[in-house]
Structure 1
Amino acid sequence: MQLVHTIEELRDVLRPFDAPAFVPTMGNLHDGHLNLVRSAKPLGDVVVSSIFVNRLQFAPNEDFDSYPRTLQADCDRLEQAGCDVVFAPKEKELYPVPQGFKIQPAAELADILEGHFRPGFFTGVCTVVMKLFQCVFSEAKGPRHALFGKKDYQQQMVIRRMVQQFALPITIVAGETQRAPDGLALSSRNRYLSEADRAEAVQLSLALRALARDALSCADALSTKLPALEDRAMHALAARGWMPDYLTVRRRADLLPPQAGDELVVLGAARLSSTRLIDNFEI
Structure 2
Amino acid sequence: MVTTAQELATEWDAARKVGAVIGYVPTMGALHEGHLSLVDLARDECDVVICSIFVNPLQFGLDEDFESYPRPVERDLGLLEARGTSIAFLPSWTEIFPGRERVLEDFGTHVAVPRLSHQLCGRSRAGHFDGMVTESLLFLNLVRPDRTYWGEKDFQQLRIIETLVQDLRLPVTVVRGATRREPDGLAMSSRNKNLTPEARAVSPNLRRVLQEARAELLAGQPLPAVRATARQELTDLGFVVEYLVACEEGSLSEVSTLDTPLAVRLFAAAMLQGVRLLDSIPLTEANHG
Q: Which TM-score band (shorter chain)?
A: over 0.9
Residue 11 of structure 2 corresponds to residue 13 of structure 1? yes
Give a deviation string over 1:107-161, Cα, whole Å, max 9, x none.
Answer: x311000111211111011001000001101xx6xxx000000000010000000
Q: Which moved more, 1:209-218 or 1:69-78?
A: 209-218
Over aligned residues, Cα RMSD in angstroms?
Answer: 1.2
User: Could you tell me whether the CA contact under 8 Å between 1:245 and 1:269 is conserved in 2?
Assistant: yes
Which residue identity lines up with residue 69 of structure 1 in the other structure? R
Q: SS at 1:61's partner residue?
A: coil
Deviations 1:256-276 (A, max 9, x none): 123513322111110000100
Residues 1:114 and 2:128 aligned together: no
Q: Residue by residue, what CA displacement relative to the aligned partner does 1:35-83 show, whole Å, maximum 9, x if unpaired? A: 0000001322210000000000001111101000111100000111110
Whole-angstrom distance in 1 between the partners of 2:166 and 2:11: 28
2 CA distance for matches of 1:51 and 1:237? 34
In the alignment, which residue of structure 1 is the partner of 2:270?
A: 270
Comparing 204-213 and 154-163, the one that deviates more: 204-213
Verify the 8 A CA contact 1:109 1:254 in the aligned structure 2. yes
Query: What is the distance in 2 between the residues matched to 1:257 and 1:216?
Result: 17
Unaligned runs of 5+ in 2: 102-106, 284-289
Partner amino acid for 2:39? V
CA distance in 1, matches of 2:13, 2:46: 14
Q: How many residues align?
A: 270
Normalised to the residue count of structure 1, the TM-score between the two structures is 0.92
Whether contact under 8 Å (1:265, 1:280) holds in the other structure is: yes
> Partner amino acid for 1:27?
G
Q: Give, in whole Å, the separation in 2 of the partners of 1:257 and 1:269.
A: 15
Q: Where does residue 259 of structure 2 map in the other structure? A: 260
| Residue in 2 that maps onto 1:222 | none
Aligned-partner SS, 1:17: helix
Which of 45, 48, 61 does residue 46 from structure 1 map onto? 48
Give the one of 214, 228, 232 matched to 1:235: 232
Determine the C-alpha separation between the residues in 2 that align with 1:276 and 1:176. 20
Task: Tell me how far apart the structure 1 counterparts of residues 167 and 252 of structure 2 sit (CA, whole Å).
Answer: 18
Give the deviation of 1:102 after TM superposition: 0.5
Question: Could you tell me how far 1:281 is from its partner in structure 2?
Answer: 1.0
Who is 1:70 aligned against? Answer: 72
- Identical aligned pairs, as a percentage? 36
For 1:218 and 1:112, the matched residues in 2 are separated by: 26
Matched residue, 2:137: 130
User: 1:145 corresponds to which residue?
Assistant: 147
Aligned residue for 2:15, secondary structure, equals coil
- Read off the aligned partner of 1:38 and give its amino acid letter: D
Q: Name the stretch that deviates more: 229-238 or 270-279.
A: 229-238
Pairwise mapping of residues 20-99 of structure 1 onto structure 2 (< 5 A)? 20-97=22-99, 98=101, 99=107
Quick check: 1:212–1:249 contact (8 Å CA) kept in 2?
Answer: no
Distance across 2 between alignment mates of 1:253 and 1:8: 37
Task: Tell me how far apart the structure 2 counterparts of residues 263 and 135 of structure 1 sit (CA, whole Å).
Answer: 34
Give me the TM-score of the superposition, normalised by structure 2.
Answer: 0.90
Q: Which residue of 1 aligns with 2:287?
A: none
Match of 2:180 among 178, 181, 190: 178
Maintained 8 Å contact 1:264/1:282: yes
